[in-house]
């Protein structure tokens, strides 16, 4: 099975199989299996959903339905760095939209998408809870506050290195 | 059984414990409107169309609310009427209201409710997303713009057929009933049984309409257009013209086909008899020469596709016989063409089928004969009804006189019963018994294989030998039966499978019976009764005694299973993902 471009697919497949075997007999096991599968692969590739369907003997349309219903599931691979731009009220009035626009320009992808080189995923989010630092973005676990659009290119460059 | 006393709109009824308010109301002759409810298939209380006042703080959904002792139900209060109307207006808020051109106009549960509840213009405007039609399959068209998300289609697909080709995707206004991964239904393991169409209350699912191709062929003076209706069509077509479910209209049907301009009226029933000759021969050969057993029937294209997708290792168990529709097409373009002195390339074979999967079968590359398609166009019972209506033919006024043409249309009583689950088995047993006994035996009816139970098993004694046979109807039942066979729990010689519940009489191309009617009448039973009556009315009731069958072997094919028969009447299958 080949699910993504990673070179350790067999390990991932083995890990997924372990999860399925561990949880398959528990009632309501589908969501936990999907969550763990996403932990393993970073997202839910089509082949993984097909595999889970086959193992649990349920239609893959069920799994796809759950995967598209909940925002927590990703159907596309995520970048190495996930950029979350806070569009909560405080950040928004402090110009978060301008920061997001600039990020879209610098990265060349719209919000919700991943750069073709797989390095960055750009997300617009609800309040990150750091309103005192508005406008705020997070790059993985790093927080950047009181941003202006002209600082964006520099931050991105740091992670490109 | 515990009986509970309930008062519904002042009417006292006594019903068994476990009865829903909806069912209890029906006994009091009160019809509560429903939309997502489909008896035995979808009972989820989702649409809230059936809300009633049961004295609680909020209104209850009658379709899932069990009655309790002394319950007082009001189905027609101002609050109930207001709630139902609001629910309907919300459903209409993002429904594509193109009733004028909708194939389900006047046969649409949503349209009828809007009229009954007095909805004039919807107060609400929802997020009307425009979806492209999914129409690349030869069988089905999906129109998400008309879908009201009642989930009746996915319930029948997932729970009855146990396929789950479609499911609920996304959420909110973006919710769609669709195949996984945004694919077309063509790219799934859908078997095109069309049960979803029969379950759909609106026009969101329908067959691919091929009637224009038929009109074009009929209008072409160069073409000889011949038609073959399947057994199940003759006990359902009348419903489209207001006749009771299961009415036999064989005579009127042939009269209507003649008036539509078909040059010859043949009958798939003839090929049903032919199928028995070939299939019984194949079965006896497998039994005596150690072939692969159990042998599965191969008439149902949905079943064939189901095996190809899900159990490719069982392909050797499938009879190599083509379906009756394909046999009829092949024999028309060879034997009949020769007898009639007609160039086969000028013949257009139109099949009228209770089936949407037959359109897919018609398109299978191997269904060809000397570069010609064996069957050119396959239309459903519903499409034929539309043609008859559009031609202005007053169907109910037509004489009840069959006007089939000669050579490839006569049938025995064993043929019409092909349309009901267990019918192919019974027809095969009638012939196999005579062959094994070496004489014409008196037993004709094998009632053990009749009826709508999902799986039927029987042990029959033929020629002193005990044979275990089984019949499954619906792919879901077939899946259970396959499990039994694989686990070694059951050991059959011959297994009949029809993809649709009840067999072809309840095929995906049959007239649509609305949810309300289905609470009182089971079309599977009513239509099957029509076919068994057709059988009983015939003097010849065994396939091998049909004189046109004897003639086709004597004059053309040689004997069943001959080289020529194999060339024309048998086929191969393909494993699919």
A20-42 pLDDT, tens digit each: 999 999 999 999 999 999 999 98
CA pair distance B78, B51, nearest whole angstrom: 12
Q: Is B320 exposed, middle or buried (0-12, 13-18, 19+ CB in 10 A)?
A: middle
Shared domain for B69 and B9, answered yes or no, is yes
CB contact under 8 A, A68 and B179: no
Q: Give the long-range contacts of residues A112-118, CB within 8 A, separation 24 or more.
A: A113/A76, A114/A76, A114/A77, A114/A78, A114/A79, A115/A79, A118/A5, A118/A77, A118/A79, A118/A80
Question: What's the longest Cα–Cα distance across chain B?
Answer: 78
How far away is chain B from the Cα of A4, in angstroms, using its nearest Cα?
Answer: 17
Residue A10 above 80 pLDDT? no
Same domain, yes or no: B43 and B84: yes
Q: Name the burial class of residue B500, with classes exposed (0-12), middle (13-18) and buried (19+) by CB atoms within 10 angstroms of its CB.
A: buried
Do residues B138 and B198 share a domain? yes
Q: Is B369 part of the contact surface with chain A (CB cutoff 8 Å)? A: no
Q: Is residue B413 part of a domain?
A: no
Q: Are residues B10 and B76 in the same domain?
A: yes
- Are B171 and A60 an interchain contact pair (Cβ–Cβ within 8 Å)? no
Residue B75 forms part of a structural domain: yes
Using alpha carbons only, how large is chain A's radius of gyration in Å?
18
Judge if B18 and B77 occupy the same domain.
Answer: yes
In order of A106, A108, A147, A158, the CA distances from A101 in angstroms are 9, 10, 13, 19
Task: State the pLDDT at residue A7.
Answer: 55
* Chain-centroid distance, C-alpha B175: 28
**Distance (Å, rounded) from C-alpha A21 to C-alpha B258?**
62
Q: What is the ipTM of this complex?
A: 0.91
When CB atoms are compared, the residue of A49, A62, A69 closest to B164 is A62
Through-space distance between the first and last CA atoms of chain B, rounded to whole angstroms: 49
The answer to whether residues B68 and B134 belong to one domain is: no
> Chain A contact for B166, CB < 8 A?
yes
Number of domains in chain B: 2
Among A58, A60, A65, select the one facing B168 at the smallest CB separation.
Answer: A65
Where among B41, B73, B92 does a domain terminate?
B92
* Residue B55: DSSP 8-state: S
B153 and B72 assigned to the same domain: no
The count of other CB atoms within 10 Å of the CB of residue B574 is: 12
Q: Which of A49, A59, A68 faces B163 most closely, judged by CB atoms? A: A59
| CA-based nearest residue to B231, from B498, B444, B469, B477 | B498
Please say if the pLDDT value at position A14 is more than 70: yes
Instruction: Give the residue from A51, A52, A61 with the most B CB atoms within 10 Å of its CB, the best one to mutate.
Output: A61
CB-based contact A61 B170, cutoff 8 Å:
no
Length of chain A: 161
User: Which residues of chain B are within 8 Å of residue A63 when distances are taken between CB atoms?
Assistant: 180
Could you tell me if residue B566 is inside a domain? no
Q: CB neighbours (10 Å) of residue A71?
A: 7
Residues of chain B with pLDDT under 70: none
* Domain C-terminal end among B164, B181, B208: B208
Predicted confidence at residue A1, as pLDDT, reads: 44
Angle at B519 between CA B516 and CA B521, to 5 degrees: 105
Claim to verify: residue B123 and residue B191 sit in the same structural domain = yes
B169 has a chain A CB within 8 A of its CB: yes
| Predicted pLDDT of residue B371 | 95
Domain assignment present for residue B496? The answer is no
Per-residue pLDDT tens over the stretch B98-123: 999 999 999 999 999 999 999 987 78
Partners of residue A65 in chain B, C-beta under 8 Å: 167-169, 180
Residues B85 and B8 in one domain: yes
Burial of A97 (0-12, 13-18, 19+ CB in 10 A): middle
Q: Which of B170, B366, B406, B567 is catalytic?
A: B366
- B545 in catalytic set: no
Chain B residue with minimal CA distance to A53? B164
| Domain encompassing residue B82 | 3-92
- Per-residue DSSP letter, B323: P
Q: Could you read off the pLDDT of B555-573 as tens digits, one per residue?
A: 999 999 999 999 999 999 9
Tell me the shortest Cα–Cα distance from B155 to chain A, in angstroms.
12
Q: Which residues contact B253 (CB under 8 A, 6 or more apart)?
A: B229, B233, B234, B237
CA distance B545 to B51: 58
Structure tokens at B25: 């109301």
Q: Is residue B255 part of a domain?
A: no
DSSP labels for B248-280? --HHHHHHHHHHHT-SEE--HHHHHHHHHHHHH
Smallest CA–CA distance, residue A71 to chain B, in Å, is: 10
Q: How far apart are CA B170 and CA B146, in angstroms?
A: 17
C-alpha span between B76 and B78 (Å, rounded): 7
Cα–Cα nearest to B321, from B302, B297, B301: B297
B368 domain residue, yes or no: no
Q: Which of B73, B92, B111 is the last residue of a domain?
A: B92
Contact B458, B271 (CB under 8 A): no
Residue A97 CA to residue B129 CA, distance in Å, equals 26
Q: Residue B191: give its domain's CATH number.
A: 3.30.70.20
d(CA B177, CA B240): 28
In a domain, B515, yes or no: no
Listed residue (B220, B245, B201) closest to B49, CA to CA: B201
pLDDT in tens, B390-404: 999 999 999 999 999
Nearest CA to CA, how far is B553 from chain A (Å)?
46
**Phi and psi based region of residue A145 (left: phi greater than 0; alpha: psi -120 to 50; beta: remaining):** beta
Arithmetic mean of pLDDT over chain A: 92
Touching check for B167 and chain A: CB below 8 Å?
yes
pLDDT at position B463 is 78
Q: Report the helix count and the strand count for chain B, using DSSP H and E.
A: 19, 19
B chain contacts of residue A60, beta-carbon cutoff 8 Å: 164, 180
Q: Domain of B22: which CATH number? A: 3.10.20.740
> Above 50 in pLDDT, residue A2?
no
Residues B86 and B137 in one domain: no
pLDDT tens digit sequence for A57-116:
999 999 999 999 998 899 988 899 999 999 999 999 999 999 999 999 999 999 989 999
Tokens matching residue B477 = 């039942």
* Distances from the Cα of A132 to the Cα of A102, A137, A145, A147, B177, angstroms: 22, 13, 9, 12, 44
Tokens (6 digits) for B74: 């009001």
Cα–Cα distances in Å, from B365 out to A125, B144, B361, B375, B497?
52, 30, 9, 11, 23
* Chain B neighbors of A46, CB-CB under 8 A: 181
- Judged by a CB distance cut-off of 8 A, whether residue B136 touches chain A is no
Residue B55 included in any domain? yes
Minimum distance, in Å, between the CA of residue B341 and any CA atom of chain A: 52
Q: How many angstroms separate the CA atoms of B545 and A117, rounded?
A: 73
Distances (CA, A) of B221 to B210, B224, B262, B368, B443: 19, 8, 12, 24, 49
The percent helix, strand, coil of chain A (3-state, each to 5) is 50, 10, 40
Where does the pLDDT of residue A8 fall: very low under 50, low under 70, confident under 90, or very high at 90 and above?
A: low
């Amino acid at each position: 099975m080949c699910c993504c471009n990673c070179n350790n697919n067999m390990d991932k497949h083995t890990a997924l199989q372990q999860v399925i075997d561990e949880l398959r007999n528990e009632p309501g096991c589908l969501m936990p299996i999907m969550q763990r599968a996403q932990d393993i692969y970073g997202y839910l590739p089509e082949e993984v959903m097909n595999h889970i369907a086959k193992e649990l003997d349920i239609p893959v349309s069920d799994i796809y339905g759950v995967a598209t219903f909940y925002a927590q599931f990703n159907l596309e691979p995520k970048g190495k760095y996930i950029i979350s731009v806070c569009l909560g009220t405080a950040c928004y009035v402090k110009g978060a939209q301008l920061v997001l626009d600039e990020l879209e320009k610098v990265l060349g992808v719209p919000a919700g998408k991943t750069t073709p080189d797989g390095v960055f995923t750009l997300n617009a989010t609800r309040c990150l809870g750091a309103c005192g630092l508005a406008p705020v973005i997070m790059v993985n676990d790093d927080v950047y506050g009181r941003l202006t659009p002209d600082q964006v290119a520099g931050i991105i460059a740091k992670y490109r290195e | 059984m515990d009986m509970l006393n309930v008062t519904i709109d002042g009417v006292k009824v006594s019903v068994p414990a476990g009865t829903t308010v909806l069912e209890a109301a029906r006994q009091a002759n009160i019809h509560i409107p429903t939309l997502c409810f489909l008896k035995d298939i979808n009972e989820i209380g989702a649409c809230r169309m059936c809300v009633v006042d049961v004295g609680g703080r909020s209104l209850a959904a009658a379709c899932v609310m069990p009655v309790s002792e002394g319950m007082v139900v009001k189905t027609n209060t101002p609050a109930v009427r207001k709630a139902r109307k609001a629910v309907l207006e919300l459903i209409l808020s993002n429904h594509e209201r193109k009733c004028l051109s909708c194939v389900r106009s006047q046969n649409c549960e949503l349209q009828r409710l809007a009229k009954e509840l007095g909805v004039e213009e919807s107060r609400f405007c929802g997020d009307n997303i425009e979806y492209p039609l999914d129409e690349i399959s030869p069988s089905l068209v999906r129109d998400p713009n008309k879908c009201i998300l009642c989930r009746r289609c996915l319930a029948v697909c997932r729970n009855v057929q146990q396929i789950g080709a479609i499911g609920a995707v996304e959420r909110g206004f973006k919710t769609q009933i669709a195949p996984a991964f945004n694919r077309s239904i063509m790219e799934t393991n859908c078997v095109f049984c069309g049960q979803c169409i029969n379950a759909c209350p609106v026009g969101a699912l329908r067959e691919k309409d091929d009637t224009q191709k038929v009109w074009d062929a009929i209008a072409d003076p160069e073409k000889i257009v011949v038609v073959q209706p399947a057994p199940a069509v003759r006990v359902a077509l009348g419903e489209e013209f207001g006749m009771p479910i299961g009415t036999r209209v064989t005579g009127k049907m042939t009269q209507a086909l003649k008036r539509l301009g078909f040059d010859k009226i043949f009958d798939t029933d003839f090929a049903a008899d032919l199928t028995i000759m070939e299939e019984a021969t194949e079965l006896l050969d497998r039994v005596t020469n150690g072939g692969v057993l159990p042998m599965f029937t191969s008439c149902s294209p949905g079943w064939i596709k189901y095996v190809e997708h899900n159990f490719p290792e069982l392909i050797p168990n499938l009879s190599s016989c083509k379906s009756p529709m394909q046999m009829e097409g092949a024999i028309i373009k060879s034997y009949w063409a020769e007898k009639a002195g007609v160039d086969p390339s000028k013949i257009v074979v139109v099949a009228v089928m209770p089936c949407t999967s037959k359109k897919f079968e018609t398109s299978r590359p191997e269904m060809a004969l000397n570069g010609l398609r064996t069957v050119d166009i396959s239309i459903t019972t519903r499409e034929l009804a539309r043609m008859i209506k559009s031609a202005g033919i007053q169907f109910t006024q037509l004489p009840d006189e069959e006007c089939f043409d000669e050579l490839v249309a006569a049938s025995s009583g064993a043929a019409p019963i092909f349309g009901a689950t267990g019918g192919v088995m019974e027809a095969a047993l009638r012939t196999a018994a005579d062959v094994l006994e070496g004489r014409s035996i008196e037993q004709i009816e094998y009632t053990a294989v009749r009826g709508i139970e999902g799986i039927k098993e029987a042990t029959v004694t033929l020629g002193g030998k005990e044979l275990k046979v089984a019949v499954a109807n619906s792919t879901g039942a077939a899946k259970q039966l396959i499990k039994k066979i694989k686990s070694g729990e059951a050991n059959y010689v011959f297994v009949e499978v029809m993809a649709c519940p009840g067999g072809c009489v309840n095929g995906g191309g049959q007239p649509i019976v609305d949810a309300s009617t289905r609470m009182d009448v089971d079309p599977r039973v009513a239509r099957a009764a029509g076919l068994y009556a057709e059988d009983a009315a015939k003097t010849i009731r065994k396939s091998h005694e049909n004189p046109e069958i004897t003639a086709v072997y004597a004059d053309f094919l040689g004997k069943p299973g001959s080289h020529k028969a194999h060339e024309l009447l048998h086929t191969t299958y393909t494993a699919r993902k």
